[in-house]
C-alpha cells in the first residue's frame, strides 16, 4: 500500500519559485547586453529555467512517497529549435548539437536513505545523498521520435554507475505537446548493494530480514513515462507527467523492497519553465 506523500518543504518550494522568478527578472538584463541576432530573443544561448515539483519514492524500492520541489536549468544554442525534453530527464546541457544528434554532460540528484527517517530499516546502513555526474546522447530519427541514453557515476553516496535508456514518441498539435515511451535502468553492483544489498550483520539487526543478500549489477528497472505540456508563449510553458517503473534483477530479489516497500515505483510531477536568450 502506498503511503501518503509528505508535505512540501516550504524553503524548497520557495527555491523553485525563486528560480522561475529569477529567470523572468534576469531575461531583460541579458537581452540588453546581448548583440543583435536572428534568434527571436537575441543572444547566443537560450537558457530555460524550470521550477519542478516531483512526487516520488522516498528511496529506491520504497512504497512511501515524498514531495520534492527543486529548480533546474536547460541550455541550447540560440536560434536552434527547442527539442522535446522529458520531465524525468536528468539535468543536461546539449553542448554538441548536430540537429538529429545531441550530446553533453548529465547530472542527477539522488536523495539519502536514513534509518532515522525510516525506523523499519533499523540495522541497515544509511545511504548519503548522491550527485550523479556523467554524459548523455540523444538521437532523433524523426521529428516524432527520440531515443536517449545517460551514463552517470555517483560522486558520493552509492558511488556506483547508472545507465538509463529512454525512448519517446512525441506528438505536437498547436500549443500542446504529448509524449510517451518506455524506460530501462541498469546499475552497477555498488549502486545495487547500497540500496538493495544486506550484510549478515544488518540481517541480524533487523527482525524483518531473515538472511544476508548480495546484490549484483545489471538490470535495475523497466517501465514507461508519459507527459502532457502546454506552451503559453515563446517564453512560458508548463508540463505534467507520470512514470511507472518495475524493479528487476537483484533489485526485485532484494528483501528490502519485499519487506518494506514495493517492486512497483510510481512518480508524478510537473514543471513550469521560462526561457530567455543570453550571451556568456
**d(Cα 95, Cα 1) in Å, to the nearest integer?**
43
Give dist(CA 274, CA 22) in Å, integer.
10
Whole-angstrom Cα distance, residue 218 to residue 205?
28
Q: Which long-range contacts (CB under 8 A, 24 or more apart) does 164-167 make?
A: 164/90, 166/86, 166/88, 166/89, 166/225
Domain ranges of the chain: 10-278
Give me the phi and psi of 204, to 5 degrees please. -65, -35
**pLDDT less than 50: residues of the chain:** 1-42
Q: Report the Cα 101 to chain-centroid distance in Å.
A: 21
pLDDT on residue 232: 96
- Residues with Cβ < 8 Å from 2, sequence gap 6 or more? 63, 64, 65, 262, 266
Q: What pLDDT sits at residue 5? A: 45
The domain made up of 10-278 is a member of CATH 2.40.230:
yes
Q: Are 271 and 52 in contact (CB under 8 A)?
A: yes
| Residue-level pLDDT at 45 | 84
**Per-residue confidence (pLDDT) for residue 43, from 0 to 100:** 57
pTM for the full predicted model: 0.80
CA distance 158 to 128: 7
Indicate the SS3 state at residue 83.
coil
Angle at 65 between CA 61 and CA 67, to 5 degrees: 130
* Exposed / middle / buried, residue 59 (Cβ in 10 Å: 0-12, 13-18, 19+): buried
* Residue 121: DSSP 8-state: G
Q: What is the DSSP letter of 217?
A: S
| Nine-digit cell string for 227 | 507527459
Amino acid at each position: 500500500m502506498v503511503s501518503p506523500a509528505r508535505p512540501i518543504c516550504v524553503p524548497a518550494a520557495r527555491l523553485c519559485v525563486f528560480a522561475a522568478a529569477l529567470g523572468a527578472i534576469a531575461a531583460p538584463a541579458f537581452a540588453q547586453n546581448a548583440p543583435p541576432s536572428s534568434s527571436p530573443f537575441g543572444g547566443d544561448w537560450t537558457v530555460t529555467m524550470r521550477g519542478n515539483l516531483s512526487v516520488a519514492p522516498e528511496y529506491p524500492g520504497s512504497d512511501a512517497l515524498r514531495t520534492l520541489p527543486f529548480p533546474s536549468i536547460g541550455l541550447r544554442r540560440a536560434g536552434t529549435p527547442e527539442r522535446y525534453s522529458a520531465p524525468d530527464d536528468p539535468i543536461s546541457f546539449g553542448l554538441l548539437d548536430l540537429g538529429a544528434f545531441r550530446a553533453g554532460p548529465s547530472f542527477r540528484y539522488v536523495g539519502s536513505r536514513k534509518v532515522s527517517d525510516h525506523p523499519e530499516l533499523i540495522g541497515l546502513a544509511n545511504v548519503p545523498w548522491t550527485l550523479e555526474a556523467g554524459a548523455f546522447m540523444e538521437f532523433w530519427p524523426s521529428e516524432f521520435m527520440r531515443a536517449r541514453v545517460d551514463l552517470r557515476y555517483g560522486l558520493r553516496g552509492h558511488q556506483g554507475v547508472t545507465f538509463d535508456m529512454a525512448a519517446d514518441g512525441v506528438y505536437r498539435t498547436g500549443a500542446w505537446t504529448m509524449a510517451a515511451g518506455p524506460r530501462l535502468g541498469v546499475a552497477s553492483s555498488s549502486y545495487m548493494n547500497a540500496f538493495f544489498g544486506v550484510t549478515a550483520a544488518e540481517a541480524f539487526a533487523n527482525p524483518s530480514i531473515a538472511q544476508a543478500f548480495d546484490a549484483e549489477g545489471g538490470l535495475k528497472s523497466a517501465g514507461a513515462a508519459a507527459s502532457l505540456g502546454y506552451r503559453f508563449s515563446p517564453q512560458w510553458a508548463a508540463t505534467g507527467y507520470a512514470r511507472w517503473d518495475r524493479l528487476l534483477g537483484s533489485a526485485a530479489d532484494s528483501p528490502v523492497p519485499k519487506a518494506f516497500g514495493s517492486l512497483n515505483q510510481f512518480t508524478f510531477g510537473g514543471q513550469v519553465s521560462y526561457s530567455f536568450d543570453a550571451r556568456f
